[in-house]
């Protein structure tokens, strides 16, 4: 296991070292100490390595992640796992705004709460939040799964496309074109798998599913007020 102390190592050197593992992965386990809320920690990784960040991070931690498993033992600032492609990102604490934004793949697990716009414009990522999420989450989400074990704020799934939203608790309000949908056996199976991978003991049958009513795919004058 390799340890990098950010008290003595600059961010650029840290990320360059981790990114270099795309060419050589003999050292597969890394620990980052003293992150002190620094921005852009462990971004652009593209190797099957495990990175543990001992503390909280600032903006865009684990952004553009491929293959790697990044585990933050504290909380994360805005944009954690932004544009993630594959791999796993785990946040032990809370996540700020737009967690998992534009994510194309992989799994993001937030064991605390997530702020507003969680999963905005998600494009295939799976996000599991053990706590609550804020307003405008999954705005313009295109594909993937957002699982919320707690409650959801205002305008959930506004202008949603084909992403699946699962919420166990209450939903303050649904956004434009987002409706509750039937929970079929295949959805329970998807949900059970995601909850297991996220180490949640929540029961799939306690959730409701939300998705697109598909009325905003094409402009129609009768729906102009919803745009």
pLDDT (tens digit, 9 = 90+) per residue, 8-43? 999 999 999 999 998 877 789 999 999 999 999 999
φ, ψ (nearest 5 deg) of residue 208: -110, 150
**pTM as predicted:** 0.95
Q: What percent of the chain has pLDDT above 70?
A: 96
* pLDDT greater than 60 at residue 66: yes
Cα distances (Å, whole numbers) of residue 9 to 17, 28, 73, 110, 121: 11, 19, 20, 27, 34
CATH code of 2-226, in short, is: 2.160.20.60
Q: Residue 196: enclosing H or E segment and its boundaries?
A: helix 185-197
Cα distances (Å, whole numbers) of residue 7 to 30, 46, 56, 111, 131: 16, 25, 14, 27, 32
C-alpha to C-alpha distance for 44 and 68, rounded to whole angstroms: 10
Residue for token digits 């609550």?
132
- The predicted model gives 39-52 an average pLDDT of 97
C-alpha to C-alpha distance for 104 and 72, rounded to whole angstroms: 20
Residue 157 · residue 136 · CB < 8 Å: no
Q: For residue 223, what is the DSSP state?
A: G
- Number of Cβ atoms within 10 Å of the Cβ of 179: 14
Structure tokens at 165: 């939203």
Structure tokens at 221: 């004058």
- 110: Cβ contacts below 8 Å, ≥ 6 apart: 91, 94, 95, 99, 118, 127, 128, 129, 130, 131
Q: What percent of the chain has pLDDT above 90?
A: 91
C-alpha to C-alpha distance for 102 and 79, rounded to whole angstroms: 10
Q: pLDDT at position 23, please?
A: 86
Q: Taking Cα atoms as reference points, which of 210, 104, 203 lies closest to residue 155?
A: 210
- The predicted model gives 158-178 an average pLDDT of 97
φ, ψ (nearest 5 deg) of residue 225: -70, -15
Tens-place pLDDT, residues 90-148 = 999 999 999 999 999 999 999 999 999 999 999 999 999 999 999 999 999 999 999 99
Mean pLDDT of the chain: 95
């Amino acid at each position: 296991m390799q340890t990098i102390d950010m008290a003595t190592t600059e961010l650029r050197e840290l990320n360059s070292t981790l990114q270099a593992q795309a060419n050589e992965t003999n050292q597969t386990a890394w620990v980052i100490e003293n992150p002190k809320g620094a921005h852009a920690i462990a971004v652009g990784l593209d190797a099957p390595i495990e990175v543990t960040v001992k503390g909280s991070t600032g903006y865009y931690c684990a952004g553009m992640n491929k293959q790697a498993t990044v585990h933050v033992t504290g909380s994360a600032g805005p944009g954690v796992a932004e544009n993630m492609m594959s791999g796993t990102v785990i946040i032990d604490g809370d996540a700020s705004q737009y967690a998992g934004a534009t994510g194309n793949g992989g799994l993001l697990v937030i064991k605390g709460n997530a702020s507003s716009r969680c999963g905005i414009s998600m494009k295939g990522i799976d996000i599991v939040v053990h706590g609550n999420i804020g307003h405008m989450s999954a705005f313009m989400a295109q594909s993937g799964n957002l699982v919320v074990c707690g409650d959801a704020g205002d305008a959930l799934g506004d202008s949603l496309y084909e992403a699946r939203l699962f919420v166990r608790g209450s939903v303050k309000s649904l956004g434009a074109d987002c409706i509750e949908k039937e929970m079929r056996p295949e959805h329970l199976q998807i949900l059970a798998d995601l909850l297991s991978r996220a180490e949640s003991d929540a029961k799939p049958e306690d959730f409701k599913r939300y998705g697109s009513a598909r009325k905003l795919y094409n402009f129609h004058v009768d729906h102009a007020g919803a745009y």
